[in-house]
Amino acid sequence: MSQIESILKNSTLSVTTGRKRILEIFLSSNNALAHQDIESQCADEYDRVTIYRTLQTFLEKGIIHNIPSTDNITRYALCNEACIVSGHHHDNHVHFKCDSCGKTVCLDEVTIPKVQLPKGYTMKEINMVVNGVCKTCR
Amino acid sequence: MSQIESILKNSTLSVTTGRKRILEIFLSSNNALAHQDIESQCADEYDRVTIYRTLQTFLEKGIIHNIPSTDNITRYALCNEACIVSGHHHDNHVHFKCDSCGKTVCLDEVTIPKVQLPKGYTMKEINMVVNGVCKTCR
DNA sequence: ATGATTTTGCAACAAAGTTGCATTCCCTGT
DNA sequence: ACAGGGAATGCAACTTTGTTGCAAAATCAT
């Protein structure tokens, strides 16, 4: 069984050609993808709506996570195994968006430092996004 | 001259009733606002397009800053004076979004800790967003 | 292989954001 | 105070983005 199929099976999802194709696109990309990026790669094969629904399903199953940004474009990236701890997704690495090439990458090696919230606030999830120039654009 | 007018004048913007009204909405709100929030407060007074353009202008002038989020809704908050250092906006406080009431606030008292990026990466801006439950919802 | 269930595509819709242009408003100099 | 030039606004039209219902097709378990 292929890597792609086992990812789907592990999340108790049926294996369809559409899901396999979208997973393949993520696996062959080294940066985070917006809906638009995926659509432009397989709009002739799959419907726009299918892509929306597939991304939604992948999110819920913790196969991908979404990355906050100030430009109002939701980008998704594959979760690595460490992402999913006891069914609950926990992303503790920094995301970097390059102002030059526009690509967003997960900096797996940079962990988000702890912060002390004011009294009364409870933390459930934390995200850190850095903008700047990436190593290939510098 | 009112506080609102001097904010506009300091940014070399002409003082119009629309801009004053939108600034007023920000000043009287203690949380970050999405375009929709503003529209619902003054849709009868000003056109949707005007609100878009005004927010865009305020962003460019550094009067407001936008706050990243994973829910794909751009929210804006007033910059305090510390935000604008030599014309360039620099936001170094943590943002908190409450999962219960949905409000996003600037935690001015919590500064973003330094992080070490991998070799070759240059940092221009850093954002930290915490999700959880705020003190009024707990 | 067959039937139940899930997924997909299509169509239609709703929401969000953009653009061009004519009108109105604001600011400056007199 | 007011006239003229430039900027801001409103309107209409449009594009993009995301959602929903339903029938057809694909997947999975037996």
Q: Which protein residues, judged by their CB atom, are less than 7 Å from any atom of strand C? A: A 13-14, 16-19, 45-47, 49-50, 53-54, 57, 72; B 14-17, 35-36, 48-49, 52-53, 56, 74
pLDDT computed for residue B86 by the predictor: 47
Which residue in B52, B64, B67, B72 has the most chain A C-beta atoms within 10 A of its own C-beta, making it the best mutation to test that interface?
A: B72
Instruction: Nearest by CB to B132, from A122, A128, A135: name it.
Output: A122
Strand C footprint nucleotides (protein C-beta < 7 Å): 6-12, 16-20, 25-27
Burial of A1 (0-12, 13-18, 19+ CB in 10 A): exposed
Q: What is the mean pLDDT of chain A?
A: 92
Q: Residue A113: closest CA among chain B residues belongs to which residue? A: B113
Mean pLDDT of the A60-81 span: 91
From the Cβ of B13, is strand D under 7 Å away? Answer: yes
Instruction: Nearest by CB to A109, from B109, B118, B124: name it.
Output: B118
Instruction: Nearest by CB to B68, from A70, A119, A124: name it.
Output: A70
The integer distance in angstroms from the CA atom of A5 to the C1' atom of D26 is 16
pLDDT computed for residue B82 by the predictor: 54
Tell if the CB–CB gap between B135 and A124 is shorter than 8 Å.
Answer: no
Maximum Cα–Cα distance for chain A, whole Å? 52
Nucleotide with C1' nearest the B17 CA: C25
pLDDT computed for residue B111 by the predictor: 94
Domains of chain A: 3-132 (1.10.10.10)
Taking chain B (138 residues) in consecutive chunks of 10 residues, what is each chunk's mean pLDDT? 92 97 96 97 97 98 93 90 55 91 93 96 95 95
* DSSP designation for B107: E
Task: State in Å, rounded, how far the first CA of chain A is from the last one.
Answer: 41
CA separation for the pair A132, A124 (Å, rounded):
27
What are the chain A neighbours of B122 within 8 Å (beta carbons)?
132-133, 138
pLDDT computed for residue B83 by the predictor: 55
pLDDT computed for residue A82 by the predictor: 55
Q: Residue B34: closest CA among chain A residues belongs to which residue? A: A72
Q: Residue A117: closest CA among chain B residues belongs to which residue? A: B110
Beta strands B93-98; B122-133: pairing state: parallel
Q: What is the pLDDT of residues A25-64, one digit of tens each?
A: 999 999 999 999 999 999 999 999 999 999 999 999 999 9
The tokens for B103 are: 């409000």
Greater confidence, A87 or A21?
A21
Mean pLDDT of the A5-9 span: 96
Contacts 24+ apart (CB under 8 A), A55-64: A55/A22, A57/A13, A57/A19, A58/A19, A58/A22, A58/A23, A61/A11, A61/A12, A61/A13, A62/A11, A62/A87, A62/A89, A63/A7, A63/A11, A63/A23, A64/A26
Strand D footprint nucleotides (protein C-beta < 7 Å): 7-13, 17-21, 26-28
